[in-house]
Amino acid sequence: MELNELYRDVILDHNRRPRNFGPLEAADASAEGFNPMCGDRLTLRLKLAGDRIEDIRFEGQGCAISTASASLMTEAVKGKTRAEALRLFGRVHGLLTDDAALGEDLGKLAALSGVREFPARVKCASLCWHTLSSALQLSAASTSPAVSTE
């Protein structure tokens, strides 16, 4: 099977059966994302254990790329720390916009590299990541005053 076909199958599968889709009770952080270019809407809810994303779920309506991307993202960041999740965002952003970026070590997220052939859809794929980033920032801002141990 061609790599492109494999990637397309991952996107189709995650669009048809989105993982971690639905409400999340007692979420610690949430954010909403909207991509006016395409009409994709997304609500992201997170449960945090200290610095770690213990659980993450999403709701909303969007195109196949935005839904598949959000599904892949929730799988990828669950169990990760804030810093790890944001670093992954950087890698995915590179994958979406930089033809030279390689995603071999990104697992299923590498399927998103197919999107860079369609620049108009990059925002569809990155919407969930921008929304995650703002949810993490909002939750960091609302926690008790930072105590530095350094």
Where on the phi/psi map is residue 50: left (φ > 0), alpha (ψ -120 to 50), or beta? left
Least gap, CB of 35 to Zn ion (angstroms): 6
How far apart are alpha carbons 81 and 54 in whole angstroms?
9
**In contact, 117 and 97? CB cutoff 8 Å:** no
Query: Is residue 15 close enough to count as binding Zn ion by CB under 5 A?
Result: no
Binding flag, residue 66, Zn ion (CB under 5 A): yes
Q: Which of 42, 48, 76, 124 binds Zn ion (CB under 5 A)?
A: 124
Place of tokens 């991509």: 35
Residue 55 sits in the site that holds Zn ion (CB under 5 A): no
Distance between CA atoms of residues 141 and 6, nearest Å: 40
Token pair 């059966």 is at which residue? 17
User: At a CB cut-off of 8 Å and minimum separation 6, what does 89 contact?
Assistant: 129, 132, 133
Q: According to the binding rule CB under 5 A, does residue 122 interact with Zn ion? A: no
| Contact flag: residue 40 with Zn ion (CB under 5 A) | yes
Between 82 and 111, how does the x/- string for binding to Zn ion read (CB under 5 A)? ------------------------------
Out of 21, 38, 80, 86, which residue is the one contacting Zn ion (CB under 5 A)? 38
Footprint on this chain of Zn ion (rule: CB under 5 A): 38, 40, 63, 66, 124
